[in-house]
């Protein structure tokens, strides 16, 4: 698989997942704000904080703007200058898909393109004004269609593995951020009442598409402990951190094995003379493939989650989430560096060749 293509696959997965997650979070937060039990600032500012864009947002619109749901939603939905807006994610997913159209196949490409075209259309703008929920629903439907097609039409092979790894690593970050919203709401001046606490937890569960699954597991008993443990550790729930980390680990193990065990492809050795072959051999050494570093980190993160679950007094949820977000983000960087690294090794061989 071409290294550039692997990188694109990874990012297409991340952007699609990010667009869906952002749409869902906006939709749920909007519903929460409508209940009017929390002041708007307590609904929307935490969302801005976990998005990572709060400083830029405040600098542009003023610190009070985070209490204005319309400004926040417009910024998170449409702003092209916002790197995590739905608009940016959809456009980037589509740009990425366009340059690997031949790898994704026409159905996935077309689903991505149709989503992009609809979102950029005047119609979407009009719907946003009159029926905003429908915009968020359409984004979610569109992205879910894309991801569904990925699993049901692509070869379950390297390109899909890279794409899905992007989805899972993005999802780890998104779930962790949504859960962390609670910390920031709590941190606000007047902490909410118990009744409101329940509403808040249900809202966060909805933002992770986990409401029904959670209620089934707990048979309707809502508590902070149960909600946190569900979103962190429930291995059967596909958006929990435990599930995402384990699945990402499994994918990276599969990729790592495939990438390491394959000999030179093609019918002939890479170059004449054994000296040159040995120059190329660093890429072949077992345990040093493009995804090895990311795999090792995910492995450690998975074990770390185990120890946290077993502890009687775990870290604060906020500290735990911060660690998970940092580790997932580093794994992303390592993965990218690894994929580029394969390219770098090839470039080095080429340079040495030229020097001779």
- Which residues here bind another protein, judged by CB under 8 A? 1-6, 95, 98-99, 101-102, 105-106, 109-110, 113-114, 117, 158, 255, 258-259, 262, 264-268, 270-272, 276, 280, 283-284, 289-290, 339, 342-343, 345-347, 349-350, 353
- Taking the complex as a whole, the smallest distance from the CB of residue 272 to another protein amounts, in Å, to 5
- Taking the complex as a whole, the smallest distance from the CB of residue 178 to another protein amounts, in Å, to 32
- Taking the complex as a whole, the smallest distance from the CB of residue 77 to another protein amounts, in Å, to 22
Residue 5 or residue 146: which is nearer to another protein going by CB?
5
Tokens of 165: 């790894």
DSSP letters along 149-192, please?
A: HHHHHS-SSHHHHHHHHHHHHHHHHHHHHHHHHHHHHHTSSSPP
What is the C-alpha separation between 310 and 60, in angstroms, rounded?
A: 44
C-alpha torsion 6→331→336→56, nearest 10: 110
Whether 243 and 210 have beta carbons less than 8 Å apart is answered as no
Residue 300 or residue 347: which is nearer to another protein going by CB?
347
Residue 154 or residue 320: which is nearer to another protein going by CB?
154
- Taking the complex as a whole, the smallest distance from the CB of residue 262 to another protein amounts, in Å, to 5
Residue 315 or residue 337: which is nearer to another protein going by CB?
337
Residue 205 or residue 259: which is nearer to another protein going by CB?
259
- Taking the complex as a whole, the smallest distance from the CB of residue 289 to another protein amounts, in Å, to 8
CA distances from 43 to 35, 94, 195, 354 (A): 11, 31, 16, 60
Tokens of 14: 């991340």
Whether 213 and 237 have beta carbons less than 8 Å apart is answered as yes
């Amino acid at each position: 698989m071409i290294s550039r293509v692997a990188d694109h696959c990874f990012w297409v997965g991340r952007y699609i997942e990010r667009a869906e997650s952002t749409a869902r979070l906006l939709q749920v937060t909007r519903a929460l704000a409508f209940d009017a039990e929390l002041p708007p600032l307590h609904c929307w500012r935490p969302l801005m904080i976990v998005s990572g864009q709060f400083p830029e947002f405040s600098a542009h619109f003023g610190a009070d703007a985070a209490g204005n749901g319309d400004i926040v939603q417009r910024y998170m939905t449409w702003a092209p200058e916002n790197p995590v807006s739905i608009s940016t994610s959809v456009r980037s997913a589509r740009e990425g898909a366009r340059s690997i159209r031949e790898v994704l196949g026409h159905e996935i490409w077309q689903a991505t393109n149709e989503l992009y075209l609809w979102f950029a259309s005047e119609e979407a703008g009009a719907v946003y004004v009159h029926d905003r929920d429908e915009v968020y629903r359409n984004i979610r439907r569109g992205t879910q269609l894309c991801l569904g097609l990925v699993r049901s039409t692509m070869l379950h092979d390297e390109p899909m593995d890279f794409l899905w790894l992007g989805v899972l690593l993005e999802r780890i970050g998104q779930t962790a951020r949504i859960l962390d919203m609670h910390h920031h709401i709590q941190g606000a001046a007047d902490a909410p009442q118990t009744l409101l606490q329940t509403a808040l937890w249900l809202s966060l569960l909805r933002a992770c598409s986990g409401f029904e699954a959670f209620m089934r597991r707990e048979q309707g008993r809502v508590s902070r402990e149960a909600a946190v443990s569900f979103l962190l550790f429930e291995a059967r729930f596909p958006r929990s951190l435990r599930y995402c980390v384990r699945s990402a680990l499994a994918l990276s193990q599969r990729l790592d094995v495939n990438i390491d065990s394959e000999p030179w492809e093609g019918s002939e050795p890479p170059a004449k003379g054994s000296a040159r072959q040995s120059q190329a051999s660093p890429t072949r050494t077992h345990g040093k493939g493009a995804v090895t570093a990311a795999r090792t980190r995910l492995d450690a993160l998975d074990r770390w989650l185990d120890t946290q679950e077993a502890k009687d007094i775990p870290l604060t949820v906020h500290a735990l989430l911060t660690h998970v977000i940092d580790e997932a983000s580093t794994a992303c960087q390592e993965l990218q560096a690894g994929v580029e690294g394969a390219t770098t090794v090839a470039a080095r061989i080429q340079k040495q060749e030229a020097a001779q």
